[in-house]
Structure 1
Amino acid sequence: MKLNFNIQPLSSWMKVSKEPLLIAGPCSAETEEQLVATAHLLAATGRVSALRAGIWKPRTRPGEFEGIGSIGLEWLKRAKAETGLPVAVEVATAKHVEEALAAGVDILWVGARSTANPFTVQEIADALKGHDVPVIVKNPVNPDLSLWIGALERINNAGITKLAAIHRGFSSHEKSAFRNEPMWDLAISLKTHAPDLPIICDPSHICGNRELIPYIAQKALDLDMQGLIIESHIDPSVAWTDAKQQLTPSALNDIMERLEVRKAAAGTTEVKDKLAELRAGIDKIDDLLIQKVAERMQIVEKIGNYKKENGITILQVNRWEEILNKRITYGSALKLSKEFTEKFLELIHSESIRKQTEIMNKDGVAGSQQEHLTHA
């Protein structure tokens, strides 16, 4: 389903100094000197389109540094006046919106914690009514596409047409190298639902450490995201918040120099023709895949009927383990990752369980107790 956002193209409200679009600045405005000095170094790179800085910082636990507060807006005004860079801040309440707009802040963003709460988003949206200001909305902390879309819709319904999303990764119980799991599929789903909505990637919050930022930044550009928002501090070693994920302006510039910006669409006729030929091959294989999966499900139905006639349970653990082990080994030999093969098989198995559950319960017996067996 396509979403109909009433928005302006990113190019109409955000001047790109040099591709890709880059919004950069310290995680937190700590002192006037720190903020202004960082701003000057970032502006000197010629790559930064806007200066970002946290003024109000929602923290996980009380007692941590929660932002310098409204006085930081005056520091941003000075940084803007001296460098010419537009400035961006996070807002989490109607009061934040009012103060930021009164101080001449150019871009507002809604943080992940705020996006997760529709009441908070609506309060921000109500405060934005009547104002022509760009707003960028981070994904919620948890992987919930509807919540992200809902926040964007609330802001758009308030009359904000200069709108974009920020992909900053999602919280996960699984331990990995990332602070927040990228879960690229959710960002891709948003792009599929709203092709005209700009999506900006936040490698700093995905990575949680500066070493991984180049990899995530390149991946975001390869997935046709419209830009990056990256934390940069004049001296990350003494930063008051998120020191490990901030870069010096010089290090940030080095990363940007090495990024490769690829085209979203084919250029020459020769390239288009070659891509069309390769895609035609994919289309044929996809059709065959779907056909074979349908044939598999027909056999599944026969098995389901046979199990019902003979009083056999739906789930056969030994058989499922056999399928997993054999197919994963086969997939590895064909250069398919174990993770992909396992997820693919689990999806097919889930549908097989569903079909057999339907067959078992054609007499009206509730089949909900069987559904939990899907991933057993």
Structure 2
Amino acid sequence: MNELKPLLKDETEKLQPIIIAGPCSAETEEQVMATARELAKNGVKIFRAGIWKPRTKPGGFEGIGVEGLQWLKHVKEETGMLTSTEVATKQHVEAALEAGVDILWIGARTSANPFAMQEIADALKASGVDIPVLVKNPVNPDLELWIGALQRLYNAGINRLGAIHRGFSSYGKHLYRNLPQWHIPIELRRRFPDLPLLCDPSHIGGKRELVAPLSQQALDMGFDGLIIESHCDPDCAWSDKAQQVTPDVLNFILNTLVLRDSTVTTESLTLLRQQIDELDNELLEVLNKRMRISREIGQYKKEHRMPVLQIGRHDEIMQSRAKLAEDMGMSGDFMRSVLAAIHEESVRQQIEIFNDRTH
């Protein structure tokens, strides 16, 4: 994917960052038009609405269906906004293209399914239509699966591609509906620096009060835009009411976002970055010493027929070091992640010693 065209042609130059907004679901023509008129009045250029809604369990509202595509046509005719919707099957693609939808996106459940992605890629190729397609990350934190979904579209001749980070599902209760795990979209950006990257703070947060801070965080990390759920009466929404904001609240959020200047030179950061490089080298040296001691411990365990894994010791380290990190102003979760990686490498090296027949 090294020869991608601009996602929205000259729209990317006119609108910085790219903002896509609209209701989670198209419910009624009145709801769609009321929301669209308010968003257009506030300067939003791209309208989004779910026409087909994949639900976790049957019985819920699964989208208005093809009827809603006519409402998107009405939005475009009256407001001049571009329109966008989610597609998950060949039939969705064909119907959306026939209705003149300007931008398609592919949801997290679909991007996780290579068969579904290939079906969509084949449908787009057969249509011969040049249309921007945005791909949300899969529900699970699998970067290669995300890249694979994008590559299927690119191989089908779709080169106006973009990615949407909407967070990753996890078990249990958390602050966020879907954990951000920012390092995954950052790695996607590192591998494909020309691929437009948008953030979906609505699905990451799951609560409307988290939309603003998540939006700012995404822009601070260099994301190219935001796709935000906005409803004229979110408390009465038929789906995902807790994470939708009114057009007026969205306008307030967008007007308070701080946009970073990516053209500023970094010469003044050179000294600080040199210090970071030196500290990284010191960290590597300390880790090397730690692994050397771990190998000595592994040799001792082997000679005394002890198991590699000592659960009590592991739990003690995790708790005490995480608490110490928090006392120093760092995140306990961050330190637990670091320690888990260090412990995994220590165990790997000790198992190598156990398997070495020469000692």
Q: Aligned partners of 2:85, 2:232: CA distance in 1, in Å?
A: 18
Structure 2 counterpart SS, 1:61: coil
SS of residue matched to 1:262: coil
Change (3 A) 1:128 1:297: same
Partner in structure 1 of residue 140 of structure 2:
142
| Equivalent in the alignment of 2:177 | 179
Counterpart residue type for residue 96 of structure 1: H
Greater mean deviation of Cα atoms: 313-322 or 51-60: 313-322
Superposed displacement of residue 322, structure 1: 4.5
Match of 2:325 in 1: 331
Written as runs of structure 1 = structure 2, the 5 A alignment for 1:62-77 is 62-77=58-73
Q: What residue identity is the alignment partner of 2:100?
A: G
Give the secondary-structure state (helix, strand or coil) at the position aligned to 2:352.
helix
Instruction: Quote the residue 1:89 is aligned against.
Output: 85
Corresponding residue of 1:14: 11
| 3-state SS, counterpart of residue 12 of structure 1 | coil
Residue 155 of structure 2, aligned match among 148, 157, 160 = 157
Structure 2 counterpart of 1:310: 304
Check if 1:122 corresponds to 2:118.
yes
Moved more, 197-206 or 296-305: 296-305
- After TM superposition, the structure 1 stretch with the greater mean CA deviation from structure 2, 63-72 or 326-335, is 326-335
Farther off after superposition, 205-214 or 60-69: 60-69
TM superposition shift of 1:151: 0.6
Q: Is residue 345 of structure 2 the alignment partner of residue 347 of structure 1? A: no
Matches within 5 A, 1:220-231: 220-231=218-229
Residue 45 (str. 1) matches residue 39 (str. 2): no
- Superposed CA deviations along residues 173-208 of structure 1, whole A, max 9, x for unmatched, are 031122111111211121122121111111111111
CA distance 1:178–1:317, change in 2 (3 Å): closer
Question: How many residues in Structure 1 have an aligned counterpart in Structure 2?
Answer: 356
Residue matched to 2:357: 363
Aligned-pair Cα RMSD in Å: 1.8
Deviations 1:19-78 (A, max 9, x none): 3211011111111122122111111111x1211111111122222211111121111111
Contact 2:8 2:160 survives alignment (8 Å): no
SS in structure 2 at match of 1:277: helix
Residue 212 of structure 1 aligns with which residue? 210
- Report the more deviating stretch, 13-22 or 256-265: 13-22
Of 100, 103, 109, the residue aligned with 1:104 is 100
Q: Does the aligned pair in 2 maintain the 1:15–1:49 contact within 8 Å?
A: no
Counterpart of 2:75 in structure 1 is: 79
Given the superposition, is the C-alpha separation of residues 229 and 298 from structure 1 closer, same or farther in structure 2, using an over 3 Å criterion?
same
Q: 1:338–1:81: structure 2 CA closer, same or farther, 3 Å change rule?
A: same
In structure 2, distance between residues paired with 1:322 and 1:169: 31
Query: What are the superposed Cα offsets for residues 292-311 of structure 1, whole Å, 9 maximum, x if unpaired?
Result: 21122122222222332333
Task: Please tell me whether the aligned partners of residues 6 and 12 of structure 2 are also in contact (alpha carbons under 8 angstroms).
Answer: no
List runs of 5+ in structure 2 lacking aligned partners.
none
Contact kept in structure 2, 1:126 and 1:158, CA below 8 Å? yes
CA deviations 1:64-98 (Å, max 9, x no partner) are 21111112111111110111111001111111111
SS in 1 for 2:183: helix
- Kindly indicate whether the alpha-carbon contact (under 8 Å) linking 1:232 and 1:249 is maintained by their aligned counterparts in 2: yes
Match of 2:305, SS state, is coil
Q: Out of 281-290 and 7-16, give the one that drifted further.
A: 7-16
Residues 197-241 of structure 1, C-alpha deviations (whole Å, 9 max, x = no match): 111111111111211110111111111111000111111122211
1:298 to 285, 292, 299: 292
Percent identity reads 54
Which residue in 1 is equivalent to 2:278? 284
- Paired residue secondary structure (2:9): helix
Secondary structure in 1 matching 2:24 = coil
- Shift in Å, 1:275: 0.8
So what's the TM-score if we normalise by structure 1? Answer: 0.90
CA contact (8 A) 1:5 1:153 kept: no
- Does the alignment pair 1:233 with 2:231? yes
